[in-house]
Amino acid sequence: MTPRTPLRLVRARPEPPFTVTFDERELAVLPGQTIAAALWSAGVLSWRTTRGSGEPRGVFCGIGVCFDCLLTVNGRPNQRACLVRAEPGDVIRTQEGTGRHE
């Protein structure tokens, strides 16, 4: 039996994926995905460390309220991965601490 997936159930035919770079690793992303969704799809669950203890963080609330999913996108720190849509060619980096410019 063929597995039931959301794409199959709605007979969706997504556009071809494009590429972004996450910590110098190329990832395939479907058009319309947020950066958080793209990272999850690639098996990445955390992409930020906390200021004090360096604990890993990723998505917590998923709606832009908690700020746990911050990362650096195209040189801009403190971008919320759950709200920012991935764009072709984006350069995404893990954010450490406060995310100040390098």
How does pLDDT run along the chain (102 residues), one tens digit per residue? 777 777 677 766 778 999 999 999 999 999 999 999 999 999 999 998 888 888 888 898 888 898 889 999 999 999 999 999 999 999 999 987 776 655
Hey, which residues does 49 pair with through a beta bridge? 56, 96
Per-residue pLDDT at 2 = 72
Predicted confidence at residue 14, as pLDDT, reads 75
pTM of the model: 0.81
Report residue 47 as tokens. Answer: 């992409």
Beta strands in 1-102 (DSSP E): 18-22, 25-29, 48-49, 56-57, 70-73, 76-80, 91-93, 95-96
List the one residue out of 62, 74, 99, 75 whose CA is nearest residue 20: 74
pLDDT given for residue 100 in this prediction: 63
Q: Which domains does the chain have, with CATH numbers?
A: 15-95 (3.10.20.440)
| pLDDT at 54 (0 to 100) | 85
